[in-house]
């Protein structure tokens, strides 16, 4: 019955979203002057009629993708002409792209009869609604109870339980070993993020069960905290109402616009450059640092672990798209290299190499404020910032803190076909193993 209901909802959603995004296009421009880049950055922060699918870069010639609704296309053409900025149409009709993605999901469900949500029959090569993701966490923990514990991170604004996994191998000898934090799905429409996180986690667990040496060393000596889908409300909304929804679903006082960008809401250097104070903006920073319960849940949980004596070696927030590995700092406009810059770039290079050796995909890497425009209140800065008693402006002190932007580079954007899920989690699995190997070396193991 649940399977039939889900298929019915998928068909209904395809019809709805086709109408909602009919005529919407994604335009790509490549600013080459400081004036053009500054102008685009201003547009991103202040004009909510244009949905920036990729952020403005400081690197001349790097592309910027913008979804443009039909009644704004003439206006944007005029603005671009004034700025002497050319563009090309990357996606001619967003509704067609999304409909194709949903058709592929439905076809896979029908042909493979993957209607259950037990992890033993879980289809890692398809996208899943939030309840299936949550059940996957619980089932994975139950079926691997000797090494995995499911933890309730907290509830979302709309009351949904948000679960994560803590993986600790049977060979662990320390009650508070060094730890790694991975989270996915902080931006609702980035479906490839939760799918990739679940996929590479499953592969690592399989390797551990088979006695593979690197996986066993990783799990026996480091705790791995993994939350596949953090923005539960927003993710559900992308399945039921608006496929391209990005933010949370909390209301904003005095505004008809709903939601905050959770990746501008972290309690380290919140409210500065690169975060909008306009509630309708896609980069709205929220009413205060940690105003979003989803962010507050993470901060509280990690601070509790730190207070118990557990230190974090790495913090990774998985996003899409652009194929980038982005390190702190993001909030500074100058002097933005951290004290650990050399090691952070070396780690990023090793991960990028592992990715390329898997499926030949190139992931560029660099410091956020250097390769993109500065942004404040981001997860990667929070992850790296020192842990202090000041909960309103500190982090967890993870040396290796990154935002990883997954596939692709713009052909499909946020509507990445399901047939790219497996290669995505396979290449990130390789990157995680590279990270784990380097962390073990630094621990002297």
Catalytic amino acids? 405
Q: Is the CB of residue 169 less than 8 Å from the CB of residue 445? A: no
Q: Is the CB of residue 402 less than 8 Å from the CB of residue 317? A: yes
| Count of residues in the chain | 445
Strands 161-167 and 223-227, bridge-based pairing? antiparallel
Q: Is the CB of residue 326 less than 8 Å from the CB of residue 338? A: no
By C-alpha distance, which of 138, 221, 207 is closest to 179? 221
Q: 């052909």: which residue's tokens? A: 411
Buried residues in 140-171 as b, exposed as e (16+ CB within 10 A): bbeebeebbebeebbebbeebebbbbbbbbee
Helix residue spans in 222-340 (DSSP H): 232-240, 293-308
**Residue 360: exposure state from Cβ atoms within 10 A (0-12, 13-18, ≥19):** exposed
Buried residues in 79-107 as b, exposed as e (16+ CB within 10 A): bbeebebebeebbebbbebbbebbeebbe
**Residue 309: exposure state from Cβ atoms within 10 A (0-12, 13-18, ≥19):** exposed
Helices 130-143 and 192-209 meet at what angle, rounded to 10? 10
- Three-state DSSP string of 326-355: EECCCCCCCCCCCCCHHHHHHHHHHHHHHH
- Report how far residue 43's alpha carbon sits from residue 49's, in angstroms, rounded to the nearest whole number: 9
By C-alpha distance, which of 91, 96, 90, 228 is closest to 161? 228
Partners of residue 224 on adjacent β-strands: 167, 180
Helices 213-221 and 421-442 meet at what angle, rounded to 10? 60
φ/ψ of residue 359, rounded to 5: -135, 20
Residues 6+ apart with CB under 8 A from 263: 186, 187, 317, 319, 377, 378, 379, 403
């Amino acid at each position: 019955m649940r399977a039939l209901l889900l298929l019915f909802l998928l068909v209904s959603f395809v019809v709805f979203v086709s109408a909602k995004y009919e005529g919407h296009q994604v335009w790509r421009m490549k600013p080459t002057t400081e004036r053009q880049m500054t102008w685009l950055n201003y547009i991103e922060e202040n004009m909510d009629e244009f949905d920036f699918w990729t952020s403005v870069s400081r690197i001349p010639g790097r592309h910027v993708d913008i979804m443009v609704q039909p009644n704004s296309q003439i206006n944007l053409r005029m603005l671009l002409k004034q700025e002497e900025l050319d563009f090309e149409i990357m996606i001619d009709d967003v509704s067609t792209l999304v409909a194709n993605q949903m058709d592929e999901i439905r076809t896979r469900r029908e042909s493979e009869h993957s209607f259950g949500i037990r992890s033993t029959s879980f289809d890692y090569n398809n996208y899943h609604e939030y309840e299936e993701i949550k059940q996957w966490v619980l089932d994975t923990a139950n079926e691997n109870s000797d090494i995995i514990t499911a933890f309730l991170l907290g509830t979302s604004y709309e009351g949904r339980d948000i679960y994560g996994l803590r993986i600790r191998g049977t060979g662990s000898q320390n009650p508070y070993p060094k730890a790694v934090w991975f989270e996915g799905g902080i931006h609702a429409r980035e479906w490839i993020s939760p799918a990739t996180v679940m996929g590479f986690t499953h592969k690592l667990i399989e390797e551990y069960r088979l006695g593979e040496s690197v996986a066993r060393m990783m799990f026996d000596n480091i705790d791995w905290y993994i939350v596949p889908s953090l923005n539960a409300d927003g993710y559900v909304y992308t399945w039921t109402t608006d496929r391209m929804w990005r933010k949370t679903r909390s209301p904003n006082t005095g505004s008809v616009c709903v939601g905050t960008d959770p990746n501008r809401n972290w309690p380290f250097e919140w409210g500065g450059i690169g975060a909008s104070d306009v509630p309708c903006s896609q980069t709205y920073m929220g009413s205060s640092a940690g105003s979003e319960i989803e962010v507050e849940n993470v901060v509280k949980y990690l601070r509790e672990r730190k207070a118990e004596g557990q230190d974090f070696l790495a913090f990774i927030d998985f996003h899409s798209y652009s194929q980038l590995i982005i390190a702190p700092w993001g909030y500074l406009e100058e002097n933005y290299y951290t004290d650990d810059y050399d090691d952070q770039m070396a780690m990023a290079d090793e991960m990028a190499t592992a990715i390329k050796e898997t499926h030949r995909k190139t992931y560029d890497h660099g410091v956020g404020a250097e390769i993109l425009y500065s942004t404040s209140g981001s997860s990667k800065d929070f992850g790296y910032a020192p842990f202090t008693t000041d909960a309103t402006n500190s982090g967890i002190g993870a040396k290796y803190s990154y935002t990883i932007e997954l596939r692709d580079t713009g052909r499909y954007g946020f509507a990445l076909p399901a047939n790219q899920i497996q290669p995505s989690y396979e290449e990130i699995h390789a990157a995680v193993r590279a990270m784990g190997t380097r962390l073990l070396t630094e621990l002297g193991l």
